[in-house]
């Protein structure tokens, strides 16, 4: 019986695609595969970010540590320390101009990141959980904005698949006895690549034909266990909803380009972020809710620059 909702999702997604199979398929080939690779330009991007990892189960389990006074600790034991995020991307980028003022951004890329408490100095890390993380993956970035021949402003949504490696962690708990220098939850992530996904909600400003400034807020989910069928059901449900929303916002942009671009970004970003929040404590929501667990998550603000060649 548990597989019935998953089968229904496949049927629903098939019906949605089948509503206009010929035109949709042709448009996909023309605008997103052949057209993109022939007309897009090489892209290199570097970003630096600041944020924090979280795990709801660990935070609830160690909440009592926040009541213990330690010198200079400010009741923060058991909480994660903030992290810095160094990120590079290699890929291809294409911008199409419509009606003289609209800009359609389409990018595909691979990326690698280093996230660590040791590469940020904005906030204190005393008595907090230190982390050291490597990750890599691939993804896409799409958006609609405004622009001309010299400058463009494009709000975008990015959706990526990512593999995350927890290289080291330190609880920094100065208590005698017990085993609070270790965490069973983090030990399950330690020393191996774990699958996950992430989304970014940001804006790109093109100042010249080669240089673009980038700012975004990024959310990432890392699964301790990749339960493929439950994850697939959750991902298909998310994708069906996102595609239906995209059709709706495309119609808004066609009818009202100025207001439509704002609604396009706001609705899609709200949808992606809302889905992230649902999975923050229930990793494969809405499937297997009785057997799900809280994943390891990362949230960062990032700023950077892209070079288009």
- Residue 290 is predicted with a pLDDT of 75
Q: What is the pLDDT of residues 60-72, one digit of tens each?
A: 887 666 666 655 5
Q: Does residue 21 register a pLDDT over 50?
A: no
Confidence (pTM)? 0.83
Residue 177, H or E segment: none
Q: Does residue 8 register a pLDDT over 50?
A: no
- Domain assignment present for residue 4? The answer is no
- Domain assignment present for residue 205? The answer is yes
- Domain assignment present for residue 14? The answer is no
- Domain assignment present for residue 37? The answer is yes
> If you ran DSSP here, which 8-state letter would residue 180 be given?
T
Q: Does residue 15 register a pLDDT over 80?
A: no
CA angle (96 as vertex; 94, 98 as ends), nearest 5? 170
Confidence of residue 201 (pLDDT cuts 50, 70, 90): very high
- Residue 108 is predicted with a pLDDT of 95
**Residue (of 116, 131, 134) closest to 171 by Cα position:** 131
Q: Which residues contact 67 (CB under 8 A, 6 or more apart)?
A: 75
Return the percentage of the chain with pLDDT > 90, whole number: 54
Q: How many domains does the chain have?
A: 1
CA angle (141 as vertex; 144, 228 as ends), nearest 5? 135
Q: Does residue 183 register a pLDDT over 60?
A: yes
Mean pLDDT on 44-62 = 91
| Integer CA distances (angstroms), 11 to 15, 148, 233, 275, 276, in order | 6, 43, 12, 22, 24
Handedness of CA 112, 298, 6, 274 (dihedral sign): negative
- Domain assignment present for residue 8? The answer is no
- Residue 178 is predicted with a pLDDT of 52
Q: Which range of residues forms the domain containing residue 157?
A: 27-308
For residues 223 and 193, what is the distance between their CA atoms, to the nearest angstrom? 10
- Domain assignment present for residue 3? The answer is no
- Domain assignment present for residue 12? The answer is no
- Residue 128 is predicted with a pLDDT of 87
67 vs 221 pLDDT, higher one: 221
- Residue 179 is predicted with a pLDDT of 57
Round to the nearest angstrom and report the end-to-end CA distance of the chain.
53
How far out from the chain centre does Cα 65 lie? 30
CATH number of 219's domain: 2.40.160.20
- Domain assignment present for residue 220? The answer is yes
Mean pLDDT on 180-196 = 87
151 vs 136 pLDDT, higher one: 136
CA angle (210 as vertex; 206, 216 as ends), nearest 5? 45
């Amino acid at each position: 019986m548990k597989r019935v909702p998953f089968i229904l999702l496949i049927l629903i997604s098939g019906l949605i695609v089948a509503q206009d199979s010929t035109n949709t398929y042709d448009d996909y080939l023309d605008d997103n595969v052949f057209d993109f690779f022939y007309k897009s330009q090489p892209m290199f991007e570097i970003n630096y970010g600041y944020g924090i990892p979280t795990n709801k189960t660990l935070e609830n389990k160690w909440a009592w540590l926040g009541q213990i006074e330690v010198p200079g600790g400010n009741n923060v034991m058991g909480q994660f320390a903030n992290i810095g995020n160094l990120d590079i991307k290699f890929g291809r980028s294409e911008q199409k101009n419509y009606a003289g003022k609209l800009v359609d951004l389409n990018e595909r890329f691979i990326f690698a990141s280093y996230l660590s408490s040791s590469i940020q100095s904005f906030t204190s890390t005393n008595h907090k959980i230190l982390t050291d993380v490597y990750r890599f993956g691939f993804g896409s970035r799409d958006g609609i904005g405004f622009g001309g021949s010299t400058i463009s402003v494009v709000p975008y949504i990015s959706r990526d698949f990512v593999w995350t490696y927890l290289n080291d962690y330190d609880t920094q708990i100065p208590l005698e006895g017990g085993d609070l220098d270790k965490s069973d939850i983090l030990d399950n992530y330690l020393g191996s690549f774990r699958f996950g996904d992430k989304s970014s909600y940001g804006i790109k400003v093109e100042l010249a034909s080669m240089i673009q400034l980038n700012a975004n807020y990024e959310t990432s989910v890392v699964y301790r266990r990749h339960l493929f069928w439950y994850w697939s059901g959750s991902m298909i449900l998310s994708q069906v909803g996102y595609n239906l929303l995209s059709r709706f916002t495309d119609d808004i942009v066609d009818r009202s380009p100025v207001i439509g671009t704002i609604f396009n970004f706001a609705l899609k970003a709200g949808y992606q972020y809302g889905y992230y929040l649902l999975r923050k404590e229930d990793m494969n929501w809405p499937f297997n809710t009785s057997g799900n667990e809280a994943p390891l998550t990362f949230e960062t603000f990032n700023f950077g620059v892209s070079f288009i060649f």
